[in-house]
Structure 1
Amino acid sequence: MSTTEQPPATELDARYSSEGATARPWPETAAVLTDAPLYWLSTVRPDGRPHVTPLIGVWSQGALHFCTGPQERKARNLAANPEVVLTTGANTLDSGFDVVVEGRAERVTDHERLTALAREWEAKYGADWHFDVEDGSFVQAEAGHAHVFAVHPRTAFGFGKGEPYSQTRHRFT
């Protein structure tokens, strides 16, 4: 979260939380988004059917960033409907912390921003994920161009698993 952003309104949903549970603070939720090696992106196809795919990404400046080839299913879905859900966490029942982010995917085309994001991608995932920046896109020799999208959360949910179970909602203005 950048220093100019307002922290979200945070509340515990007691209906889905253990007695005595407390809301998880936003910095803890943001840390999960920062450190996650993998995210699941849910989009909607133009005919209304859902589409879910795993992908890598970078949490930066208050948004989760991912990239996709312009002809891939997720890019075509986003052209018709930019509303998305991104999830990450531990695939366990009684331990860990899962995060769900709801928001709108917006394409990033600014050269300086893309260059900074390319450095962040490589720092997180290693040299195999080196991107150059050209014509408002990431570029890899083997893979070609990839559009980069940013999802600023409208709402984020945190699900604490194990004792205590908790469901925290973060609402952004």
Structure 2
Amino acid sequence: MSEPTSTKNLDRSGSAELPWSRARDLLATQTPKENLTFFVGTVRPDGRPHAAGVGAIWVDGVLYFKSGPGTRRARNLAANPACTVSVRLNGIDLTMEGEARRVTDPAILERVAAVYRDGGWPATVDGDALTAPYSAPSAGPPPWPLYRLVLERAIGVASAEPYGATRWDFTP
């Protein structure tokens, strides 16, 4: 994952711009070990928004999440890969924008499955997707396709010192 190509201080109370490293390092240390809920926002075919909680992880500078193939999220992403992913990390609320791309590379699938296992979810690779003895009830039966977020923009609002609000733009 690259560093931001531009940043903008969104804080109107005089706080300094937040460094991307603050959000990035929290993603790296808090996933998948912390009990975090990520929310993926997608767009329905009729243009209405859809959001759902998902177990996501940050691996080697990339955010990954899975989705049951029959879920509204997966159907929306198949028609329009634009999405948002939001999470409350320790001391910073983070919203990321970009496109979800399906991951089928066996080496990446295995690497992500290993990180999920390290975090306590017994994921394994099944063809070009992930499987496990259990998942969220709304995910449907395995295997579950894996997606990576191609990050285009992120917005962080600090809820702990040092306070601030910043937008980071990335070149995908």
Instruction: Name 2:52's counterpart in structure 1.
Output: 53
What residue is the counterpart of 1:89 in the other structure?
88
Query: Any idea what SS the aligned residue of 2:168 has?
Result: strand
Q: Residue in 2 aligned with 1:9?
A: 5
Alignment of 1:62-141 (within 5 A): 62-89=61-88, 96-124=91-119, 126=120, 129-141=121-133
Cα offset, 1:104, TM superposition: 0.2
**8 Å contact kept, 1:10–1:168:** no
**Secondary structure of 1:144's match?**
coil
**1:168: how far off?**
0.7
1:145 Cα deviation from its structure 2 partner: 0.6
Q: Is 1:157 the counterpart of 2:151 in the alignment?
A: no
| Equivalent residues of 1:13, 1:169 under 8 A apart | yes
Q: Give the drift of 1:167.
A: 1.4
SS in 1 for 2:47: coil
| Cα distance change of structure 1 residues 13 and 120 upon mapping to structure 2, 3 Å threshold | same
Partners of 1:26 and 1:119 lie apart in 2 by 26
Does structure 2 conserve the Cα–Cα contact (< 8 Å) formed by 1:10 and 1:23? no
Take 1:61 and 1:9, find their aligned partners in 2: how far apart are those partners? 19
Counterpart-to-counterpart distance in 2, 1:166 and 1:121:
32
| Equivalent residue pairs, number | 160
Q: Deviations over 1:75-109 (max 9, x none)?
A: 0010111000001116xxxx931111000000000
Match of 2:21 among 18, 24, 27: 27
TM-fit CA distance, 1:61: 2.8
Identity of aligned residues (%): 33
In structure 2, C-alpha distance between the alignment counterparts of 1:118 and 1:13, rounded to whole Å:
36
Q: TM-score, normalised to structure 2's length? A: 0.84
Q: Quick check: 2:50–2:73 contact (8 Å CA) kept in 1? A: yes
Computed over aligned residues only, the root mean square deviation of the Cα atoms, in angstroms, reads 2.0
Aligned pair in 2 of structure 1 residues 74, 18: CA closer, same or farther (>3 Å)? same
User: Which letter does structure 2 place at the counterpart of 1:29?
Assistant: A
**Distance apart, 1:13 and its partner CA:** 2.5
Query: Which sections of structure 2, spanning at least 5 residues, go unmatched?
Result: 135-140
Q: What runs of 5+ residues in structure 1 fail to find an aligned partner?
A: none
1:49-73 CA-partner distances (Å, limit 9, x unpaired) = 1111111111123321000111111
- Change in Cα spacing, 1:165 to 1:18, as seen in structure 2 (3 Å) is farther
1:15-43 deviation line (CA, Å, top 9, x unaligned): x3322x11111111112333152211100
